Structure 1
């Protein structure tokens, strides 16, 4: 930011500039859909570790879907402001204010997920299936990549 007055402080100029660049990212592993609870123990699910004092029915829980996401974002912004002010006396002030703002953001998202139609594995003491396998079934899988570019000028 730079400012200066001239002509016995009757004319002033202010110039303000800013620039920023930022890269960020995040990763997520989880399940979007709620898991489902199964009251019967089908073939291939070993539930002997379930603590029946807490879970007397032997019900177990299994995640329906497993997702992995990676988000990367690059962001750049520039701001400019020019102000001209003229005050020939104490009763009159004229101001011209020009502001420009530029913003650009580029995002890359990589996602993939797989889900279990016929889960097998072993439960923990709470009844959660902890080493899920998709026995005798094809792997249900999807993956995609998304590229977004946003640009704004004001």
Structure 2
């Protein structure tokens, strides 16, 4: 009599664990869908694009290729982390690497405390530094050209 009760408890426990697992899968999918929707809004889909960054030299990176173009929002963050406007999963790019913003028609670039630095025309951008259309912005070892 003990064995059937034990087997029944095991079956019920298995069903409960299966439902908990399925619930976690649904929660993870829902979070991912919400994150994708937020990222789509942040990248400017449905809103005006204020400029572009075009990869001119990817250095040792295999993540992006020369010619890859990224749209710029009025406030754009570049890094590996999920909260960045432009996410680049390169080992030489910090989680939060670079900030770009436009004010009165002028772009500004500033390093966000990264390890490998941010440069505008080979000048370190430790503080906010203006950048003009055509300037080369280096994030880690990836070089971008700022375009309209």
Q: Give the number of the structure whose alpha-carbon radius of gyration is greater.
A: 1
Kindly indicate whether structure 1 or structure 2 has the higher relative contact order, using CA contacts under 8 Å at least 6 residues apart. 1
Q: Does the pair score TM above 0.5?
A: no
TM-score by length of 1: 0.21
Task: Tell me which protein shows more strand as a share of its residues.
Answer: 1
Which one has a larger percent helix, Structure 1 or Structure 2?
A: 2
